[in-house]
Structure formats: C-alpha cells, structure tokens
Amino acid sequence: MLELLPDLITLIGLEIGFQSIYLAATGRFYEAARLFFLALFFDYLDGMAARLLGVESPRGEVLDRAVDRVNQCVAPAVLYAAAGGPLESAVASLRVIVGIVRLSIPKDSRYFRGAPLFIPALLIECSVLAGLDLHPLILLPFILATGLPIPYPRSQATSVGEGGGWRRLLWGLRPILPLVMILGPTELVSPLSKAVVILAAAYTIVGPAIARMRWVGEPIWAENRG
C-alpha cells in the first residue's frame, strides 16, 4: 500500500488545485492565489515521498505531469481570466494550450525544453498576492517562452547533480517559499511576491544563457539550431 502514497499525495494536490480554481471563478482571487501555493507544496511532497519510499514509476510520472497541467496551467489561467477581461481571457487560454502541448515533448533530466511552465504561473499568482497589475502584453512573452524549443537549466540538475554543498542546500530549501506564501502574514507575502515576480522574469531572460554556458558544444544546442 505504501507505493500508493505518492499518488495519493498527488491527487490531494489536484483537489487543492481544483479548489483554487473554484475560488478564482467565484471572485476570491487572493485566497485562490494562496491556495495555489498549497498545491505547489503538495507537488513537492509527492516527489519526496516517492524518493523516500523508492517507488518512483512511469505511472507516477504521468500522473504528476497531468496534475501539473491543472495546477500550474489551468488554475493560474482561470485566475487571470476571471480577474481580467477579454484580452486576459485570450492570453489565459494560450497559457493552457501551450501547457498541454508541452505534454508531447519528452522530458530531459538536464534541462527544460522551453521556459519552465511554473514561470507564468508564478507571475500570475504572485502578481495577485502583491497587488500588481500584470498586463496581458507583459505576460504573453513569458507564456510564449514556455513553448519555444530553447533549453533552460533544470533546478535539480544544476543544484544537485552538478553543484556543491550550497546548491544542494538551496535545492533542499525549495519548499520554504510555498509554505511562507501559505502561512505568512500579508505584510511578508506581498513584498516576497514582488521579489518572486522579479526573479521569475529574470530567470526567463537569462536561463538560456546559463544553459549555454553549462552545456555549450553538446547536442542540445545543435538540436535547437535546426
């Protein structure tokens, strides 16, 4: 039965993501954004449970990717569309489309094929928590970056597989952000959300350069030139 625990945690995260969608659809945008980070925390928990129990499997990976599309694509898209107008709705629908298309792209342990899907999600959710007006024309390039065949460094590869002790430490501390977003007071969450928006935007811009410095001369660059 223990081998089912990671899948159960994944499905709990899906339920939390659905409740975030419900809150957004009923106009409770701030609460929806907070709940998004609880779903993000459960996404961390299921992977941790799978590794601790030694039950990582193709089934669990497929389930995890499917739930990610709901929690990281549909939930932020509904929030962005519900809080905006027709232009926001159109950009939000593109967010979902690109996320689904990414399902057909094989994963690589070293890099993302396109900007990570969580980048636009963080921009949307953190903008709500920070009280920022995220214009659709500002969000659009970040969504398009997730669909372009440009390598971005994977956090786990750069922090664990090839890094020293401090990188391993940072990788281990990654669940702290969603916990603070869930439990922290507004006085802390608001400025932290602004910082996340800036960092997410900066990573989208400099990520390909980091990947090029790390893997220059390897086949991934030849694949993406043709």
Cβ–Cβ < 8 Å for 154, 110: yes
* pLDDT at residue 170 is higher than 60: no
- pLDDT number for residue 3: 74
* pLDDT at residue 124 is higher than 90: yes
The pTM (predicted TM-score) of the whole model is 0.86
The pLDDT tens digits of the residues spanning 130-164 come to 999 999 999 999 999 998 888 887 765 443 444 44
| Beta-bridge partner residues of 113 | 151
Please, which pLDDT band fits residue 110 given cuts at 50, 70 and 90?
Answer: low
Q: In whole angstroms, what is the distance from residue 150 CA to residue 137 CA?
A: 21
Structural domain spans, the chain: 2-223
Residue type, 120: P
Beta strands in 3-150 (DSSP E): 111-113
- pLDDT number for residue 186: 93
| DSSP structure class, residue 161 | I
- pLDDT number for residue 138: 96
Q: In whole angstroms, what is the distance from residue 182 CA to residue 206 CA?
A: 28
The pLDDT tens digits of the residues spanning 53-95 come to 887 777 778 888 899 999 999 999 999 999 999 999 999 999 9
Higher pLDDT residue, 14 or 214? 14
Q: In whole angstroms, what is the distance from residue 200 CA to residue 215 CA?
A: 22
Higher pLDDT residue, 212 or 38? 38
Closest CA to 91 of 141, 148, 158: 141
Q: Which CATH number fits domain 2-223: 3.40.50, 1.20.120, 1.25.40, 1.20.58?
A: 1.20.120
Cβ–Cβ < 8 Å for 85, 130: no
- pLDDT number for residue 53: 84
